Structure 1
Amino acid sequence: MHTIRLTAAALLLPLAATLTACGTSGTAPERTPKDALEAAVAVMAQVGSAEVTLDGGWSGRASWAPGVRLALSGAGDTRLLALGEVFYVAAADTAARTGGRAWEVLDGPFEGGGRAAALELGPALAFSQRLDPAGALEQAARGAVTEVGRESVGGEPAVHYRAVLDGAEYFADGRGLNDERRRSLAEAFRTGGPTTATVDLWLNRADQLVQKTESGNPTVTDVAGTVRYRRFGAPVEVERPSSVDVLDPRTAG
């Protein structure tokens, strides 16, 4: 009998080892880069505003939900306000150009020349039409996504992902674009042919998008545009300037 008990115990040892191994292998598999972007979509969908830093020395606050509100400052004391689809700009020479008024409405801000180009508003205007980070993440997740590596953004650990996808699908997406911008994009894709969008995205430990770089947009002259996000949920107070303090070339006689 003693021999039989030893044999039974010996038979149970491999079974216990097998059960232990199964329990260890039952942990959740490591998520893919596409999974990471999709998780960030859910996180950023709950975020309606942030402090931002853009190319060209622009910084300020932006709100994309429920509506577009933007307050940015750039080089040379230039300021840009956006409420919906109306853009106000104040620069060092604004008062001299407008008869003493502090602000002027940008007429045709997304056209190639004009006042916007003279004030180098390109980075700020491009950002204003693609504010929603959840939308960019959702689109990027549809492309070929890879993990570039672990890096630091503003002193904070982040994982860098890269998505490559069709340019028209990414840049011509209708969310957040006004009719003028849609027409501009459609014409650019029609005359320029197929393009490829490359989108670099940095996520922190909470799956928040802390930095985004886009390249391949046929309607901008800059090779790449970068935005850095911080202080998510920061309030954005933007008051429409008084009409007596604004020159609007659309209504000026």
Structure 2
Amino acid sequence: MSKKRYFIQIAYDGSLYHGWQVQPNAVTVQELLDKAMTTVLRQPIETLGCGRTDSGVHAKDFYAHFDVEGIDENKVLNALGGINALLPYQIAAKRIIPVHEEAHARFDATARAYKYHVHFEKDPFKLNRSWLIKDQLDVSAMNEAAALLLNYTDFSCFSKSNTQTFTNNCKIVKAVFEEEEDGLVFTIEADRFLRNMVRAIMGTLVQIGKKEIDLTAFKAVIESKNRSMAGQSVPACGLYLVKIEYPYLG
């Protein structure tokens, strides 16, 4: 029986973990997932994720691919219950999907979306899951600035420096703030994102909301292609990866 490739879809609360990717001397989501799958499938499993979320960032929709050899497809698909039994409650395996042998969880993704949650009053039930801001924000101005992102493609100013990417170009198709009864949610969708990009964009948009900079200054930040011109990265706790799309997945 030949080697077969699969995707696994997971969701996780990142509060207790040092991000997705395996790291020395730190507990990560990938490490725990690989261990659980290795135990259940009884062969070494190494997943490759659709991206790398930072420490404390959450994911409602995350994919990784992996290969197995010599196991019937039905046994792999039925392994979901055993994998979930070994994973901590903060990590949930949602489904396993057979894919073609060249399918790639990172490079084949055609769209990704994040949400960033903000609340304005102390709330113990939002600890590590939303960012508490005590300032009043001009949401209308923030939405005006967010709309400008759709006019640009080079987002070097919002990227962590010294990353191993060939280009800092991204196509943002949606960027909008929506007010909710207990806070504010920023949704941003693009074909790809740079490392730390959403948190840096959010930090700069909050400067708009606080009237620390105006729309002209916001444009200048983007056109500078200089990370030091943009605002500080906001805390990881409010950030959620909420959607990954692939051309061959329903």
Scaled to the shorter chain, the TM-score interval is under 0.3
Larger gyration radius, structure 1 or structure 2: 1
Q: TM-score scaled by structure 2?
A: 0.26
Structure with bigger helix share is 1
- Could you tell me the TM-score, scaled by structure 1's length? 0.25
